[in-house]
Structure 1
Amino acid sequence: MLVVGGYTRVSDTGQTGDGRDGHEGVVRQREDVYGLAQAKGCTVHRIYQDNDTSAYKRRVQRTDFEMMVRDLEHGVISGILAYNIDRIARQPRDLERLIDIYEQARRPMLFATTAGDHDLTTADGRFQARIYVTIANKFSADAARRVARQRLAEATDGEPHKGQRAFGWKNLEQVDDWEAGLIRKAREDVLLGKRVGTVHREWAELGVRGPQTPPGRTIGYSSVLYVLRNPRLCGYRAYIPQEVRERSGRVDPVEYLVERTDGTPVRGRWETILEPEEWRELVNELDARKSSGNGRKKGSTVTKRLMTGIARCALCGTGLSSGTYQRGTVSYERYGFYYYCRAADGGCGKLARSGPPVEKHVENVLLDSLRTQAHDVKSAQDDGSEAAEAKETLKQIEADKAEARRLRADDLFSLAEFAREIRRLEEKEGRTREKVATLVSAPRRVGSAAARIVREWETYTVEMKRREMTRSIEAVVIKPAGKGGAQRGAFRPDLIEIVWK
């Protein structure tokens, strides 16, 4: 009596809105398998069951199907029973794996369904099975195309993406206050220079978990980056085709924004966490970090020490490097590290200074400068008529672009005229935005931003401090202390010269 395996599967359950979970379907298939085994005079070794699992999607792993293939290959079972062949395979490559096993087997084998048997050990049987699987594959492809078209229409209409909730929301529409707070704080920190890796570490320490985080684990780095780049944060609707997801896995949603015919992004019908300008500023900052530079890891814009590259040798002008004192020495216990002019980098090699006192002095001077700026709120809020005028110009440019699109749609603009006009307006828009940024950045920094930096300075990471430091300081020039001077006395601020921007 042949020992066979029974296979049952229902795909994509719970998506039709009928309240069923697919269990009834696999139970009926199980009954059919046992009835078929009785008719064939076989013994069922076990039922291999993949509930809510597609056999068509390429990236889907069918756990029990893989186990069944291994058992078939190793001789644990000598055949497969199923309700229909499309329960077993909807991709030709899955069928070919089974065909290889049947062709090489040196024992009686069975491949049977309630719709009929397929003798995979013969050319005719294999031909027949391949036709059935090819037809099933075509049906799945047609259904996938219809579903994709429907989902694109829903996206264009601004409907929320169905399925698991997105991080930051407690359901499809309502914001989760705690997670939204994490996102807003992360945005502020990233714009101040904090690495996404640091944000991830902080979230992991808080035990943050995403909707797809496996049990017992915290949210991953790639998930944090995906959350921060998600257009949903500001209400923009994205649509990533299923075939792209299957081919590439997780992709950048910024590249798949759904746009209206006038080129504006589709706004979804859900509560937002950020304004569009805030989200775009965050994405631009993350994009700027993608390029690797000067030996730094891709995605990193920071160095290990606060003053590396900022501090310079007064003798030769070379940027100082940092090193660690030898363990066990008094200098190591007291200071830990030092800055020095490195001859291998083209420097003179004649300057070295303990790091912490230099950093503390420069930090104090910078904070004093920011405190002075923070108290000068009146100057920070000086006449803003020029900035207001520039912003009004931007609004008029948007109106002119919309009018140009309308004239083109009414066939009152030729394609060449439309292209020239849009290009002219975009160039003007770019110049105006640069002007606005120049006009508003200084007052903003002089006022409340300077006060905030002073207030939060001790909570900043090294990379965040470097970002603020380089905004105000061109270089920190360190002069030699003389022979043995660094060891003889206390720290001498007169040997430190700060060059302001």
Structure 2
Amino acid sequence: MLTTGGYVRISDIGELDDGRDGREGLLRQREDVFDLAKSKHCDVQRIYEDNDTSAYKRRVKRKGFEEMILDLRSGVISGILAHNIDRIARQPRDLERLIDIYEQARRPMVFATTAGEYDLTTEDGRFHARIYVTIANKFSADAARRVARQKLAEATEGKPHKGRRAFGWKDSEHVDEVEAALLNKARREVILGKKLSAVHEEWAELGVRSPQTPEGKTIGYSSVRYVLRNPRLCGYRAYIPQDVRERSGRVDPVEYLVERTDGTPVTGQWETIFAPGEWQELVDELDSRKNTGRGRKKGSTVTKRLMTGIARCAKCGTGLSSGMYARGTTSSEKYGHYYYCRKADGGCGSLSRSGPPVEEYVEAILLGNLRQRADNEAPAGKGDPELIKARETLRQIEADKIEARRLRADDELSLAEFAREIRRLEEKERGMKEKVATLTPTPARAGHAAARIVREWDTYTVDMKRKEITKSIEAVVISGAGKGGTQNGVFRPELIEIVWK
């Protein structure tokens, strides 16, 4: 009696969106395998199972199939039983892997399905198997084209993507408040200069997971970048063809926006987290940091020290580098790092100053300047009747959007009516936001920004602080004063000159 393996598979059951998990179909296939084994007088060593797994998509790895191939090659099993050959292979290359094993085998082998037996050790058997798999491949390709055409049509209409929810939403339409708060915080901080790696570290420490994160893991760096660039955040509809996904894996959704005939992005039928301008600002900031191909990233500070490149030698004008004091020394314990004029950079090599005192002094001066700016630039424009009216209109638009969602939830609005109303309100909202931005005086915005920076300074990363420093300060010029930049252990601020922009 030959020892065989049974193979059962259901593909893409998640796309049915009917709550089934594919187990019923797999159980029916298992029954077919055992019935087939009785009729062939074979023993079933093991059932190899792939649930919700396509045999047509090239990038899909089938765990059960690969284990079956390994056992077949090593002689653990001497044949395969299945409901149908298209359960085993829909790509000719998968069938050829099996054929290679059967051709080289020096033992009795069986390959049978409920639809017929294929003797892969003979030319005729291989011929019929290849024809059947080729036909199955053609059916899958035709079905894939129909699905792709349907999904593109839905994207053009602004319908939400079906299937697994996107990060930031509870379902296809409604925002998840916790994840939305994370996204909004990350957007603000990235715009201020925070590195994406720092955002990822923060989310990992919080135990943040995306819908695609494997069990027991936290969200990955590439996933953080992906969710922050997702056009869905501001309501734009993207469509990435399945063949592109299979060929390239995860791609940048920004490159696959669906546009109307006039070139404007299609807006979707779901709650948004960012305004379009906020999303575009974030994408532009992330794009500015892309690798230029020459080892460093455009816009990157490439340093962990606050004053590197900002501080300059008063004697020769060279930007100061940073270094670490030797371990075990008093300077190492007290200061840790220092700034110095390096000859290798074309400097004079005659200046060295302990880092933390310089940094604390510059930070204190900058924050004092920002506080003064916030006090002097008192908010203006609050009494402008037109501005007050525009802000009131924005509040009313938000109330109308909430009411439209309620009516839709109560089935008092059809989906088409709801979509038209939300689109009308969002277009009106965009116009009002632009009007408010125009009417709000620049000094008021600058004053608010200065106050916010002072308030949040202690939460900023080094990169965020460097970005704010370089907005206001041209250079920090340091004069020499002996080893460590101190005299009798006293810091001397008169040796530091701040050049403001």
TM-score normalized with structure 1 length? 0.86
Q: State yes or no: 1:11 paired with 2:5.
A: no
**Paired residues of 1:292 and 1:300 also in contact (CA < 8 A):** no
- Structure 1 alignment gaps of length 5 or more: 385-436
Question: How far apart are 1:299 and its partner, in Å?
Answer: 8.1
Distance in 2, matches of 1:293 and 1:438, equals 39
**Paired residues of 2:320 and 2:340 also in contact (CA < 8 A):** yes
Distance in 2, matches of 1:159 and 1:373, equals 47
Question: How far apart are 1:295 and its partner, in Å?
Answer: 5.6
Question: How far apart are 1:463 and its partner, in Å?
Answer: 0.5
Query: Per the alignment, do residues 295 and 23 of structure 1 end up closer, same or farther by CA in structure 2, a change over 3 Å counting?
Result: closer
Counterparts of 1:424-463 in structure 2 under 5 Å? Answer: 443=443, 446-463=446-463
Question: How far apart are 1:112 and its partner, in Å?
Answer: 1.0
3-state SS, counterpart of residue 279 of structure 1: helix
In the other structure, the counterpart of 2:157 is 157
Q: State yes or no: 1:276 paired with 2:276.
A: yes
In the other structure, the counterpart of 2:411 is none
Distance in 1, matches of 2:295 and 2:439, equals 34
Distance in 2, matches of 1:335 and 1:249, equals 47
Distance in 2, matches of 1:147 and 1:293, equals 38
3-state SS, counterpart of residue 15 of structure 2: coil
3-state SS, counterpart of residue 212 of structure 1: coil
In the other structure, the counterpart of 2:76 is 76
Amino acid of the residue matched to residue 144 of structure 1? A
Counterparts of 1:192-271 in structure 2 under 5 Å? Answer: 192-271=192-271
Counterparts of 1:473-492 in structure 2 under 5 Å? Answer: 473-482=473-482, 486-492=486-492
CA deviation map 1:355-413 (0-9, x unaligned): 111111111111111111101224876999xxxxxxxxxxxxxxxxxxxxxxxxxxxxx
Query: Per the alignment, do residues 152 and 301 of structure 1 end up closer, same or farther by CA in structure 2, a change over 3 Å counting?
Result: farther
Query: Per the alignment, do residues 44 and 441 of structure 1 end up closer, same or farther by CA in structure 2, a change over 3 Å counting?
Result: farther
Q: State yes or no: 1:50 paired with 2:50.
A: yes
Query: Per the alignment, do residues 126 and 52 of structure 1 end up closer, same or farther by CA in structure 2, a change over 3 Å counting?
Result: same
Amino acid of the residue matched to residue 375 of structure 1? D
- Structure 2 alignment gaps of length 5 or more: 385-436
Distance in 2, matches of 1:250 and 1:489, equals 56
CA deviation map 1:246-283 (0-9, x unaligned): 11111110000000111010100000000000000000
Query: Per the alignment, do residues 348 and 216 of structure 1 end up closer, same or farther by CA in structure 2, a change over 3 Å counting?
Result: same
Query: Per the alignment, do residues 124 and 484 of structure 1 end up closer, same or farther by CA in structure 2, a change over 3 Å counting?
Result: closer
3-state SS, counterpart of residue 70 of structure 1: helix
Query: Per the alignment, do residues 12 and 117 of structure 1 end up closer, same or farther by CA in structure 2, a change over 3 Å counting?
Result: same
In the other structure, the counterpart of 2:407 is none
3-state SS, counterpart of residue 370 of structure 1: helix
**Paired residues of 1:311 and 1:477 also in contact (CA < 8 A):** yes
**Paired residues of 1:302 and 1:463 also in contact (CA < 8 A):** no
Question: How far apart are 1:303 and its partner, in Å?
Answer: 1.5
**Paired residues of 1:380 and 1:446 also in contact (CA < 8 A):** no
Query: Per the alignment, do residues 152 and 189 of structure 1 end up closer, same or farther by CA in structure 2, a change over 3 Å counting?
Result: same
Distance in 2, matches of 1:44 and 1:250, equals 39
State the identity %.
Answer: 75
In the other structure, the counterpart of 2:358 is 358
**Paired residues of 2:11 and 2:51 also in contact (CA < 8 A):** yes
Distance in 1, matches of 2:98 and 2:298, equals 44
* Structure 1 vs Structure 2 CA RMSD: 2.3
Q: State yes or no: 1:173 paired with 2:173.
A: yes
Question: How far apart are 1:486 and its partner, in Å?
Answer: 2.7
Query: Per the alignment, do residues 91 and 298 of structure 1 end up closer, same or farther by CA in structure 2, a change over 3 Å counting?
Result: farther
Distance in 2, matches of 1:262 and 1:297, equals 35
Query: Per the alignment, do residues 70 and 163 of structure 1 end up closer, same or farther by CA in structure 2, a change over 3 Å counting?
Result: same
Amino acid of the residue matched to residue 216 of structure 1? G
Counterparts of 1:269-308 in structure 2 under 5 Å? Answer: 269-292=269-292, 296=296, 300-308=300-308
In the other structure, the counterpart of 2:494 is 494
Distance in 2, matches of 1:293 and 1:380, equals 46
Distance in 2, matches of 1:337 and 1:442, equals 40
Higher deviation after alignment, 443-452 or 177-186: 443-452
**Paired residues of 1:376 and 1:446 also in contact (CA < 8 A):** no
3-state SS, counterpart of residue 455 of structure 2: helix
Distance in 1, matches of 2:241 and 2:341, equals 54
Amino acid of the residue matched to residue 56 of structure 1? Y
Higher deviation after alignment, 132-141 or 475-484: 475-484
**Paired residues of 1:292 and 1:299 also in contact (CA < 8 A):** no
CA deviation map 1:398-432 (0-9, x unaligned): xxxxxxxxxxxxxxxxxxxxxxxxxxxxxxxxxxx
Question: How far apart are 1:441 and its partner, in Å?
Answer: 9.9
**Paired residues of 2:475 and 2:500 also in contact (CA < 8 A):** yes
Question: How far apart are 1:300 and its partner, in Å?
Answer: 4.1
Distance in 1, matches of 2:252 and 2:456, equals 32
**Paired residues of 2:485 and 2:491 also in contact (CA < 8 A):** no
In the other structure, the counterpart of 1:469 is 469
Distance in 2, matches of 1:303 and 1:88, equals 54
In the other structure, the counterpart of 1:31 is 31
Q: State yes or no: 1:137 paired with 2:133.
A: no
**Paired residues of 2:174 and 2:271 also in contact (CA < 8 A):** yes
* Alignment coverage as a number of residue pairs: 450
Query: Per the alignment, do residues 228 and 117 of structure 1 end up closer, same or farther by CA in structure 2, a change over 3 Å counting?
Result: same
TM-score normalized with structure 2 length? 0.86
Distance in 1, matches of 2:19 and 2:132, equals 31
Amino acid of the residue matched to residue 158 of structure 1? G
**Paired residues of 1:318 and 1:341 also in contact (CA < 8 A):** yes
3-state SS, counterpart of residue 95 of structure 1: helix
Distance in 2, matches of 1:171 and 1:470, equals 42
CA deviation map 1:460-496 (0-9, x unaligned): 1100000000000000000111578634341111110
3-state SS, counterpart of residue 52 of structure 1: coil
Amino acid of the residue matched to residue 31 of structure 1? E
Higher deviation after alignment, 18-27 or 186-195: 18-27
**Paired residues of 1:370 and 1:446 also in contact (CA < 8 A):** no
Query: Per the alignment, do residues 289 and 93 of structure 1 end up closer, same or farther by CA in structure 2, a change over 3 Å counting?
Result: same
Higher deviation after alignment, 437-446 or 44-53: 437-446
Higher deviation after alignment, 257-266 or 35-44: 35-44
Distance in 1, matches of 2:95 and 2:110, equals 14
Higher deviation after alignment, 193-202 or 33-42: 33-42
Amino acid of the residue matched to residue 256 of structure 1? Y
3-state SS, counterpart of residue 15 of structure 1: helix
Query: Per the alignment, do residues 110 and 229 of structure 1 end up closer, same or farther by CA in structure 2, a change over 3 Å counting?
Result: same
3-state SS, counterpart of residue 458 of structure 1: helix
